[in-house]
């Protein structure tokens, strides 16, 4: 089977993608600097037809590392990033270096190595806080944070590398991906693991703002499938970026209600001030991904929350009642 590269392969989404590729029989090279990725995320149980796993410790912002990573690779799945809006506001240079410069380095290396496909993670944050819903790929981007700018910059580079150099690139604009292995302890943690671990432990989840902000939450398994579809789709998708979401939105308060329902609790949130750079509402139009990638989300929100809550409940003890 082919050798594929997964950058950020020890991280949340990257480790799920790595696990799936290995299970499908592919050999996988993981490039990760382990600044946020964890070696424990790569401790998979081998399947009968599993491929071989190679781990390369390094930083995508280093060109020589990028060249070493793509050597002999058929497809690049570029997931590595500093994935936090608040962190990018605190340190915009580090975010740009990892997300924009790192992507540019990999594009150059992939082009020189003549890889067959370059699939990369973008973000719904490129849309900003425009009131129009749902977000459609043809809308003019209006990023609100250094993180969003870095992701949009990567998209522009990828499109140009396809147009000028003929590199087959496909961008996936993730909307609020969640699932097992997502880190709930970081100060920049996403809301689903924060809410689940808090409620499982009998604590009040923290909501920034009034909680009426809405998000289009999507299960990590759906995102993995989108990557796999992008790796084999028709050339009509090259140079484009696609929304990867469920096409439905709920408020953070409703999300808390659903998690309470899973655990049989009635824990109310505590509210803190809104954070700069956060968007108020988010909802994706996924028609383009359906058309060009032949992709639709297979796992809905309620099922995904139950799967995720079950995983976290095995590592987060519930409070005595």
The model's pLDDT over 303-312, given as tens digits with 9 standing for 90+, comes to 999 999 999 9
Q: Is residue 308 part of a domain?
A: no
> Which of the following is catalytic: 120, 147, 157, 174?
147
Q: Sort strands 3-7 and 75-78 into parallel, antiparallel or unpaired.
A: parallel
Q: What per-residue confidence (pLDDT) applies to 279?
A: 78
What does pLDDT average to over the chain?
A: 93
Please report the pLDDT score of residue 2 as a whole number. 87
pLDDT at residue 46 in the model = 63
Tell me whether residue 188 is in a domain.
Answer: no
| High-pLDDT (> 70) share of the chain, % | 96
Domain CATH code at residue 17: 3.40.50.720
Q: Evaluate whether residue 132 is within a structural domain.
A: yes
The Cα-based distances of 203 to 120, 145, 199 in angstroms read 36, 30, 5
Say how many domains are in the chain: 1
> What token pair was written down for 130?
């425009």
Quick check: is 15 in a domain?
A: yes
Q: Is residue 316 very low, low, confident or very high in pLDDT (cuts 50, 70, 90)?
A: low
Average pLDDT in the 125-135 region?
Answer: 92
Determine, yes or no, domain membership for 163.
yes
Cα–Cα distance measured from residue 176 to residue 179, given in angstroms and rounded to the nearest whole number:
10
- 297 in any annotated domain: no
Instruction: Identify whether 26 is part of a domain.
Output: yes
178 to 169, 182, 189, 247, 255: CA distances (angstroms): 24, 7, 11, 15, 13
The residue range of the domain holding 165 is 3-177+219-247
Q: What is the pLDDT of residue 73?
A: 97
Task: Examine the residue annotation and report whether 147 is marked as an active-site residue of this protein.
Answer: yes
**Is residue 161 domain-resident?**
yes
- State pLDDT tens for residues 78-120: 999 998 888 899 999 999 999 999 999 999 999 999 999 999 9
319 confidence band (pLDDT: 50, 70, 90): very low
Mean pLDDT value of segment 251-279: 92
């Amino acid at each position: 089977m082919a050798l594929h590269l997964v950058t950020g392969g020890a991280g949340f989404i990257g480790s799920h993608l790595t696990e799936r590729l290995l299970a499908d029989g592919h050999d996988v090279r993981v490039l990760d600097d382990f600044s946020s990725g964890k070696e424990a995320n790569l401790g998979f149980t081998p399947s009968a037809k599993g491929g071989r796993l190679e781990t390369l410790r390094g930083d995508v912002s280093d060109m020589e590392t990028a060249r070493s990573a793509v050597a002999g690779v058929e497809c690049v799945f570029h997931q590595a990033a500093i994935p936090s809006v608040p962190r990018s506001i605190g340190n915009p240079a580090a975010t740009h270096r990892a997300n924009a410069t790192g992507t540019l380095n990999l594009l150059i290396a992939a082009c020189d190595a003549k890889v067959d496909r370059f699939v990369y993670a973008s973000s719904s944050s490129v849309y900003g806080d425009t009131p129009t819903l749902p977000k459609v790929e043809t809308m003019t981007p209006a990023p609100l944070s250094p993180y969003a700018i870095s992701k949009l910059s990567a998209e522009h580079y990828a499109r140009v590398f396809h147009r000028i150099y003929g590199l087959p690139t496909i961008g996936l604009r993730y909307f609020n991906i969640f699932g097992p292995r997502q880190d709930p302890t970081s100060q920049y943690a996403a809301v689903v693991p924060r809410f689940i671990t808090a409620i499982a432990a009998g604590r009040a989840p923290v909501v920034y703002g009034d909680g009426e902000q809405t998000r289009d939450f999507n299960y990590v398994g759906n995102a993995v499938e989108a990557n796999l579809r992008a790796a084999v789709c028709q050339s009509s998708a090259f140079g484009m970026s696609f929304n990867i979401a469920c096409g439905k939105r709920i408020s953070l308060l409703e999300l808390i209600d659903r998690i309470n329902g899973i655990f049989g609790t009635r824990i109310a949130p505590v509210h803190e001030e809104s954070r700069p750079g956060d968007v108020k509402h988010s909802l994706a139009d996924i028609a383009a991904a359906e058309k060009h990638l032949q992709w639709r989300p297979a796992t809905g929100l309620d099922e995904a929350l139950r799967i995720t809550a079950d995983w976290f409940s095995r590592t987060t003890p519930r409070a005595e009642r």
